[in-house]
Amino acid sequence: MVTLMAVATEESRTLPKPEGQWIAVIRIRGRVNTREDVEWTLKLLRLNKPNHCVIIRYTPSIRGMLIKAQHKIAWGEIDFETFYQLLKERGRIIGDKSLTDDIVKEKTNGRYQDIKALAEAIWRGEITFRDLEWFKPVFRLHPPRKGYKRSTRKLYQERGALGYWGPKISDLLRRMF
């Protein structure tokens, strides 16, 4: 007989501890057969369509949202290089223009000279996506090259593409640039 405490302990081993690290959250599945509360959670995460990605800090409240929507999304911790590449290759500003070094310099009034300086400031917490009114915080990605290689109906731990990936989410992101 499996007790509730054993299930909670097993779940806490597979999920990261809230340390304020950055995580990438990617919507894998669409709207069909989605409960209202799960769809509302995805809307709060700004994940309105499949293959959309957001980068957020991992907190206990975000953890609850991720667990609630885990059958529609994939998430995991990312490193700075992946974050920088995501900003550089898929970053967009209002007006649907690509993020460039010149735009960063212009929009920040010279405070940040290029995308890398802006990425470092965001990574360290000096500035947030909310402070950048001209920047779109959602990254529109391509479907992964050579497919998901796993079922999009099962959790990652069950040989699927949904749920918590850990640091391996960076590999999926690189295939989606």
Name the residue among 94, 56, 93, 89 with its Cα closest to residue 75: 56
Does the structure show a pLDDT above 50 at 3?
A: no
Q: Give the confidence band of 126 by pLDDT, cuts at 50, 70, 90.
A: very high
3-state secondary structure the chain: CCCHHHHHHHHHHHCCCCCCCEEEEEECCCCCCCCHHHHHHHHHCCCCCCCEEEEEECCHHHHHHHHHCCCCEEEEECCHHHHHHHHHHHCEECCCEECCHHHHHHHCCCCCCCHHHHHHHHHHCCCCHHHCCCEECEEECCCCCCCCCCEEEEEHHHCEEEEECHHHHHHHHHHHC
Higher confidence at residue 16 or residue 168? 168
pLDDT cut 90: percent of the chain above it:
80
Does the structure show a pLDDT above 80 at 8?
A: no
Record the pTM.
Answer: 0.85
- The number of distinct structural domains making up the chain is 1
Q: Give the confidence band of 15 by pLDDT, cuts at 50, 70, 90.
A: low
User: For position 111, which CATH number holds?
Assistant: 3.30.1390.20
Which domain, by its residues, includes 7?
Answer: 1-177
User: CA-based angle 48:16:146, to the nearest 5?
Assistant: 55
pLDDT cut 70: percent of the chain above it:
89
Mean pLDDT over residues 17-45, rounded?
89
Q: Give the confidence band of 14 by pLDDT, cuts at 50, 70, 90.
A: low
Q: Give the confidence band of 123 by pLDDT, cuts at 50, 70, 90.
A: very high
Q: Give the confidence band of 4 by pLDDT, cuts at 50, 70, 90.
A: very low
Mean pLDDT over residues 139-155, rounded?
91
Query: What is the average pLDDT score of the chain?
Result: 89
Give Rg (Cα) of the chain: 17
Residue 73, beta-bridge partner list: 27
- Report the pLDDT value the prediction gives residue 174, as an integer from 0 to 100: 93
Residue 164, beta-bridge partner list: 75
Q: Give the confidence band of 18 by pLDDT, cuts at 50, 70, 90.
A: very low
Helix axes 169-176, 80-90, angle to 10 degrees: 20
Q: d(Cα 67, Cα 59) in Å, to the nearest integer?
A: 12
